[in-house]
């Protein structure tokens, strides 16, 4: 009998993996964002070591790894959210469409509109549903009239899959919605300023399984329009929603590649150990 040697089987994703290279995905296109040799320090403590990753349009990139490995720190570098942490220092270069996001000429408010963020805990403003979504377009001067603003609010809520549930109560408080609805409202708020990239930091960790499934569906729908990067603790979620996965461990990027390869045939022993549940 012919014997072949194969790696030990790894966890099977609970649902079939998405086709990785769909016809509309042009792999030769320049990356939307490119991070080169990123190191981050909090005071004297180094949290990330020389991480280089490319983020592409039309793809969801998942960042996975054990707690404290630096996933959120890296995500926050992509729209300079670490600037808000006094002890944080970022070294290396990050480009958005080839432009250095840390250059003095970069307007950080503008950058955060182009690279939007959705947080772990839904954080709608204590304002009406309408005002939550209208806020960004208004401060960025994106709409010329009330009618245009109304259209932007409607379009954003539709894209976030929330319109049908809230269209008759746009003046009610955003904070009165369910957790899953609040998270979709925060996604609508990010979408309203017409971003190019959406960063999501464990967007489902505060949600129940049904609300989680709804957000995962939404991520899948939004993928054709925005480059998406998502931090998740949940490997099954990474397998379901992403086309690329980056595995971090102790501040290093251990492995980065196609999600389907990562979960079935990882290149590195540390990745294999993590996805088979040997640590984490
Ligand atoms: N504001 C901060 N000040 C000091 N140290 C920090 C700060 N934020 C994160 N760190 C440290 O940096 C390292 C990476 O943290 P980070 O939150 O990026 O990891 P993570 O992989 O996202 O973890 P988790 O999955 O638990 O959220 C950890 O050791 C953490 O304690």
The model's pLDDT over 41-74, given as tens digits with 9 standing for 90+, comes to: 999 999 999 999 999 998 999 999 999 999 999 9
- 89 in any annotated domain: no
| Contact assessment for residue 174 and residue 128, using Cβ atoms and an 8 Å cutoff | yes
Of all helices (H) and strands (E), which one includes residue 94? Answer: strand 88-96
The domain in which residue 249 lies consists of 56-84+108-275
Residue 80 has pLDDT above 90, yes or no: yes
How many Å apart are CA 105 and CA 149, to the nearest integer? Answer: 29
Q: Is the ipTM of this complex over 0.95?
A: yes
Mutate to test the pocket of ligand 1, among 69, 237, 248 (most ligand atoms within 8 A of CB): 69
Residue 82 CA to ligand 1 center (angstroms) comes to 11
How many Å apart are CA 36 and CA 244, to the nearest integer? Answer: 17
Q: What is the CATH number of the domain that holds 195?
A: 3.40.50.300
Residue with tokens 């389907």: 260
Q: Say what the pTM is.
A: 0.89
Residue 229 CA to ligand 1 center (angstroms) comes to 18
- 90 in any annotated domain: no
**Which residues in 157-170 are b (16+ Cβ under 10 Å) and which e?**
bebbbbbebbeeeb
Mutate to test the pocket of ligand 1, among 46, 71, 200 (most ligand atoms within 8 A of CB): 71
- 44 in any annotated domain: no
Band of the pLDDT at 278, cuts 50, 70, 90?
A: confident
Give mean pLDDT, residues 106-114: 95
Number of domains in the chain: 1
Percent of the chain's residues with pLDDT above 90: 84
- 210 in any annotated domain: yes
CA-proximal residue: ligand 1, atom 16 (nearest): 70
Percent of the chain's residues with pLDDT above 70: 89
| Contact assessment for residue 56 and residue 244, using Cβ atoms and an 8 Å cutoff | yes
Q: Name all residues whose Cβ lies below 6 A of ligand 1.
A: 42, 47, 65, 67-73, 85, 87, 233
Q: Using the Cα atoms of residue 68, residue 201, residue 216 and residue 246 in order, give the sign of their dihedral.
A: negative
CA-proximal residue: ligand 1, atom 3 (nearest): 42
Q: Using the Cα atoms of residue 6, residue 9, residue 10 and residue 14 in order, give the sign of their dihedral.
A: positive
Band of the pLDDT at 29, cuts 50, 70, 90?
A: confident
- 115 in any annotated domain: yes
């Amino acid at each position: 009998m012919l014997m072949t040697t194969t790696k030990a089987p790894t966890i099977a994703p609970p649902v079939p993996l998405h086709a990785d290279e769909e016809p509309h995905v042009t792999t030769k296109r320049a990356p939307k964002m490119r991070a080169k040799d990123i190191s981050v320090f909090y005071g004297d403590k180094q949290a990330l070591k020389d991480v280089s990753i490319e983020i592409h349009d039309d793809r969801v990139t998942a960042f996975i790894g054990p707690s404290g490995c630096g996933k959120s720190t890296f995500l926050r570098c992509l729209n300079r959210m670490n600037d808000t942490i006094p002890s944080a220092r970022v070294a290396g270069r990050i480009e958005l469409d080839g432009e250095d996001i840390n250059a003095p000429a970069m307007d950080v408010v503008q950058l955060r509109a182009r690279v939007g963020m959705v947080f772990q805990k839904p954080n709608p403003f204590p304002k009406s549903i309408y005002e939550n979504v209208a806020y960004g377009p208004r401060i960025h001067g994106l709409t010329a009239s009330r009618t245009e603003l109304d259209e932007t609010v409607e379009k954003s809520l539709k894209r976030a899959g929330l319109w049908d549930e809230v269209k008759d109560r746009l003046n009610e408080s955003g904070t009165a919605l369910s957790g899953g609805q609040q998270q979709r409202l925060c996604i609508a708020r990010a979408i309203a300023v017409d971003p190019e990239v959406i960063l999501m930091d464990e967007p489902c960790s505060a949600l129940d399984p049904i609300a989680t499934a709804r957000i995962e569906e939404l991520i899948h729908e939004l993928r054709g329009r925005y480059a998406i990067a998502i931090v998740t603790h949940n490997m099954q979620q990474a397998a379901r929603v992403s086309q690329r996965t980056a595995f971090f461990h102790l501040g290093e990027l251990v492995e980065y590649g196609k999600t389907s390869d990562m979960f079935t045939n990882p290149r590195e022993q540390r990745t294999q150990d993590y996805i088979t549940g040997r640590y984490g």
